[in-house]
Amino acid sequence: MRTLVLQGSSMGVIYEVTNWVWWALLRFRTPGIVVLRFLVHLCVLTSLLLFMERLSMAVVLLYVKISGKRSKKYELESMKRDLEINYEHPKVLVQIPMYNEREVYKLSIGAACNLSWPSDRLVVQVLDDSTNLILRELVQLECQRWIDKGINVKYENRNNRNGYKAGALREGLEKQYVADCEFVAIFDADFQPESDFLWRTIPYLLLNCELALVQARWKFVNADECLMTRLQEMSLDYHFTVEQEVGSSTCSFFGFNGTAGVWRVRAINDAGGWKDRTTVEDMDLAVRASLKGWKFVYAGDIHVKNELPSTFKAYRFQQHRWSCGPANLFRKMVREILHCERVSIWKKIHVIYCFFLVRKIVAHFVTFFFYCMVIPLTLMVPQVYLPKIIAIYIPAAITVLNGGCTPRSVHLIVFWILFENVMSLHRSKAAIIGLLEGNRVNEWVVTEKLGNTIKQKSKRRRICGLCGAETSRIVKFRFGERVYLLEILMGLFLLYCANHNFCYGRDLFFIYLLLQAGAFFIIGFGYVGTFVS
């Protein structure tokens, strides 16, 4: 087959392009090879660091499951009886920060107001930073509806968005009516806790005065909406199943997810309160509280329903914030962590090396620069040798360790690899911006939620179909919203490397390169996720 292709006209084009590239690089051939060899060694080292970190977490998780040394579970029913007999329910504040959440505000407010807890010991605080005045009125009406039912709901809004979410949470805690609240539960606008959420989390805090945070797991209500949400579920399942569980079991520290958790108010104040110096105010608070000696518990058996971003535009903004913020926080806090005297050396190593360096920086760089840049380049430079154990087997092992936490989606592992490699382009760029404090370091774009929009539109479409009505509508194609130049350029680069390897190489790497180039093209032309007009 190769012979037939080599005899075709495409062979001549590839040959001419290759000659032109080599002619352009002829004067820089020797230093270029030296630089590429250095990059290969650097990527090999970081890849091994990532592999060892993933393997160590897998070993710890296996030990925790076998030994049964998970976080202690308390007898909830007996504690509930004691609280009811002695009437010693602690006062709990529930904060719901939101910003123009038209599609989901009813769901979140309703779920919070339905929490099973004495009404006189519960305060539901809706922190509405919405700029849409009509939407503000709608949220106020929803709050009033629950107030009429006897729920203590407080509606708060600001004329500015200073500090974004952190500013809203900070100002919410400063209200006079929350002065006697001992604990605060935080839910983003698309999160819907079960009615027994407080009964399953507050006991941890009551029986351990050193505990600052109880973090619950996320349950995705729209994971089956499209392929992109299925792939997101695979990545987040690994985060909750492995990273959070291991952090909780080994040194009682992990990054607060910003929602679906209960904090001890005293711990928040002791850590210095909410700060808006980065776009990951939740992680910032968690690290500062940990340095003060507070402990965290991850309750993986408690699930809180929420929504995954199903449009690629929303997902890109979310991943930029999630990648840029931790890198920037690492830059700001590394010295503070090193000089902290209240925590052990082991915990410092865990926070700096495992939590920040490997997971938040090295993982993104390895995925993009090694798998999408360095390996394709080495295939065109025979003077640079890359062992197969590094190029194939270690990445395969890392993939198995990452993607095996969602058994129902194992058959999608190839799509997950390709999608994660494409997203590593944006994550690496965001991490660099965070480390260097670039222009977009403090960019905050609220992740768009659709709530029941898709279901409602599908239902209306079915009804119209039964009525014989015409439901098709032409959606205008907008170049800036559907075409992404960086992905297309990366797709062209990988396509050229694949063709070169197919014609001149003696291995089958061109198969991977063609698949990866196709993934960049598909996402580059906007054919991923859902589309809502």
DSSP string, 166-187: HHHHHHHHTSGGGTT--EEEE-
* Residue 117 · residue 91 · CB < 8 Å: no
C-alpha–C-alpha distance, residues 433 and 279, integer Å = 12
Count of other CB atoms within 10 angstroms of residue 86: 8
Nearest to 311 by CA among 452, 192, 482: 482
Question: Running DSSP on this structure, what letter comes out for residue 440?
Answer: T
188: annotated active-site residue: no
128: annotated active-site residue: no
Helix, strand, coil shares of the chain as percentages rounded to 5? Answer: 60, 10, 30
Q: In what helix (H) or strand (E) does residue 216 lie, and over which residues does it extend? A: strand 211-220
* Residue 471 · residue 464 · CB < 8 Å: yes
**Strand pairing report for 183-186 and 261-264:** antiparallel
C-alpha–C-alpha distance, residues 439 and 449, integer Å = 26
Q: In what helix (H) or strand (E) does residue 92 lie, and over which residues does it extend? A: strand 92-98
**Strand pairing report for 153-157 and 183-186:** unpaired
Q: In what helix (H) or strand (E) does residue 464 lie, and over which residues does it extend? A: helix 453-467
Q: How many CA atoms lie within 13 A of 27 on its CB side?
A: 1
What's the one-letter identity of residue 99? Y
**Most distant pair of Cα atoms in the chain: their distance:** 88
Query: Among all chains, which residue has been given the structure tokens 């015409």?
Result: 470
* Residue 252 · residue 355 · CB < 8 Å: no
C-alpha–C-alpha distance, residues 392 and 398, integer Å = 10
Catalytic option among 188, 276, 282, 284 = 282
Q: CA-CA-CA-CA torsion for 373, 379, 385, 386, nearest 10 degrees? A: 50
Q: The tokens of 329 are what?
A: 């926080």
Q: The tokens of 325 are what?
A: 């913020």
- Residue 374 in 3-state DSSP? helix
Catalytic option among 128, 129, 188, 190 = 129
- Residue 125 in 3-state DSSP? strand
C-alpha–C-alpha distance, residues 37 and 377, integer Å = 11
What's the one-letter identity of residue 305? K
Question: Running DSSP on this structure, what letter comes out for residue 474?
Answer: P
Nearest to 307 by CA among 108, 28, 510: 108
- Could you give the residue numbers annotated as active site? 129, 282
